[in-house]
Structure 1
């Protein structure tokens, strides 16, 4: 594979549960005296350490009729840092200049960020052989993290409805972890309120996204008919490799396809088709992929106001604040080592996992930015139509409802809901919905707090 194409793919980038800490799980933690923040490491496997950061909402009220929710944010990549990107650049209490964020999701829930999988951000392994190679292995590590936190540092998890909210490749983690938790709850092995799973611009079906690129970019004039035809032919190659289970070849074909699309479209930003990337994907010649600025962070860094870059902050002021980060752990937005370790799972769909969640009665929300390319709304609509869930026909037949923010009468999006499936179309947003449309994203989270719990035979677990 030509390493010059790799950066283009590093973009993908809630009934009470008694969680039992796993044998041999070790933890090291820190936090504030007032209990508003806690952070630390959990050794999820011998020599494999996940870093987490928890924020308690100042709006948390324990006397509410419904328990206050907790959101576990799962970043994409694979290998992109949730503690850095999701926290400081998207929904955490402070922005990239370490100033208060008015649209923080702490207004509606407690927040947990994690550098997942191990090897990402502040998380680390003592041997690269311990890196996860499948979404299932990543889910097992996350489940171990939740068990340890509920048994120790965060006992509120035992009675707080837990929402898994994901972005990009994080959607594959969320679907896989959600199924793992749901199965354990139904089997009586865990007692947890799994409030729901929210899939934001999520890489659930690589095939459906690949097939959408040519037609979408032609419709918005970023490709002409020749460019769109070429992209569609390349997408068929991707589809064929997926059908035959040749996952690496499918990834390579997708990489080649994206390289051609960027070149033929005037360097369209694959996160937002109204923008250019501002970087030439082939300019560095034969330089190794790790020499490129990670594409996942380029767009988000452009949203920062004047101040230090996120990398400087995470390796400077934040590392000093936390005090427990090993000296030899250098924070990066994107870990190519983690990305490469998951190469055989990258192109595998997770539609079946979403179907299983729906069948259990778990609340599933799909939300997508109108302007996204890499995880396009057209692609998300396509994979949703492949669901075998018995409520799909009724869901698809319902009209959408317009969404607004505050006193404005301007339509900001649409939503369609039936039973435990919800789909949000977010207008004017690209891949990073909370960044582009913070008001509507916050409203969406508030709406989805009231979601279904896991049920079996009409009896709540």
Structure 2
């Protein structure tokens, strides 16, 4: 599992261990934090390699993890090993990774406050990770890290709650008319029926149809930012960065990090996404 650690650049500490450690997990599932979260959101440099004002690194140590394996620079070396298929496996893998990281690679962080941040589907994975840590620490009666908190940003922790509110929100914001509302709402209710039947893969496929219908009924709204100007022939703005990031991560960044040539960094890990399809719409709010 690939990770990228930035030590804080905070001016008023004598040692970086005086500041907390943030673990950043990206969404998707299938988007790598090494590129997306790092260069597009909170890392010390932007995608043009210019200094970012307001980077998290100015105040915290930040650990970007390409999670799960099969995303970004993380890869499977054994052909008999399969990609994860559910949140429990994600939590277990992250637990095993971080335990090695903090006990073997960077033991200086063992007493440092640790906060796990998850964005979008990364929020669901972060929840699974933290749950795995607390469960194992309770079972073993032994703490291996100073886990302090969990931060969730637009976290996909209860998918059905989101789906049920797409149509009402779009109608109340004037993005669709009553006809559009009815079409989106009816499709969302079909997903609810499938989830209740535990037909999660079918539900996930239908969820994609809801997003497609939202694009159609709103003439191309950007579901990642409803204020962004777009149109029905243009992909959401987030995908504008796909070619930019794939080029830099497979050239300049790969060279600087001495990443082996046979590893290809992808903006989105579709194989991983497909592997998790049966788990995408399961809630983690009861954990």
Match of 2:282 among 348, 367, 374: 348
TM-aligned CA deviation for residue 261 of structure 1: 1.5
| 1:116 to 2:67 alignment | yes
TM-aligned CA deviation for residue 133 of structure 1: 0.7
Structure 2 gaps of 5+ residues are none
1: CA distance, partners of 2:40 / 2:237? 12
Superposed CA deviations along residues 368-403 of structure 1, whole A, max 9, x for unmatched, are xxxxxxxxxxxxxxxxxxxxxxxxxxxxxxxxxxxx
CA shift in 2, pair 1:56/1:143, >3 Å: same
Aligned residue for 1:97? 48
TM-aligned CA deviation for residue 332 of structure 1: 1.0
Greater alpha carbon shift after TM alignment, 250-259 vs 114-123? 250-259
TM-aligned CA deviation for residue 223 of structure 1: 0.8
Superposed CA deviations along residues 293-316 of structure 1, whole A, max 9, x for unmatched, are 8x68415x29xxxxx822211111
Secondary structure in 2 matching 1:54: strand
Considering fraction of residues, name the structure with more strand.
1
Aligned residue for 2:184? 231
**Aligned CA-pair RMSD:** 2.2
State the aligned residue count. 284
TM-aligned CA deviation for residue 63 of structure 1: 7.6
CA shift in 2, pair 1:155/1:129, >3 Å: closer
Aligned residue for 1:53? 4
Match of 2:137 among 185, 188, 191: 185
Match of 1:77 among 19, 28, 31: 28
Contact 2:99 2:144 survives alignment (8 Å): no
| 1:174 to 2:126 alignment | yes
Secondary structure in 1 matching 2:228: strand
CA shift in 2, pair 1:277/1:138, >3 Å: farther
Aligned residue for 2:268? 334
TM-aligned CA deviation for residue 103 of structure 1: 1.0
TM-aligned CA deviation for residue 189 of structure 1: 3.3
Considering fraction of residues, name the structure with more helix.
2
2: CA distance, partners of 1:207 / 1:296? 25
Secondary structure in 2 matching 1:112: strand
Aligned residue for 1:204? 157
Contact 1:76 1:168 survives alignment (8 Å): yes
Superposed CA deviations along residues 51-83 of structure 1, whole A, max 9, x for unmatched, are 00001102173689x952100000001010100
Aligned residue for 1:246? 199
Contact 1:92 1:101 survives alignment (8 Å): yes
Superposed CA deviations along residues 409-443 of structure 1, whole A, max 9, x for unmatched, are xxxxxxxxxxxxxxxxxxxxxxxxxxxxxxxxxxx
2: CA distance, partners of 1:140 / 1:224? 45
Superposed CA deviations along residues 87-117 of structure 1, whole A, max 9, x for unmatched, are 0110011111011111100122100001111
Superposed CA deviations along residues 239-293 of structure 1, whole A, max 9, x for unmatched, are 1111221101111221112211211110111111123555648xxxxxxxxxxx8
Aligned residue for 1:370? none
Secondary structure in 1 matching 2:70: coil
Contact 2:219 2:231 survives alignment (8 Å): no
1: CA distance, partners of 2:155 / 2:80? 27
2: CA distance, partners of 1:182 / 1:83? 26
2: CA distance, partners of 1:147 / 1:141? 10
TM-score, length of structure 2 as denominator length: 0.92
| 1:213 to 2:179 alignment | no
Contact 1:296 1:334 survives alignment (8 Å): no
Structure 1 gaps of 5+ residues are 1-49, 282-292, 303-307, 354-461
2: CA distance, partners of 1:269 / 1:101? 25
Query: After TM superposition, which residue ranges in structure 1, 4 or more long, deviate above 4 angstroms?
Result: 276-279
1: CA distance, partners of 2:239 / 2:232? 9
2: CA distance, partners of 1:217 / 1:128? 45
Contact 2:103 2:144 survives alignment (8 Å): no
Superposed CA deviations along residues 129-157 of structure 1, whole A, max 9, x for unmatched, are 52111111111111111111112221222
Secondary structure in 2 matching 1:82: coil
TM-score, length of structure 1 as denominator length: 0.59
Contact 1:86 1:92 survives alignment (8 Å): yes
2: CA distance, partners of 1:267 / 1:296? 11
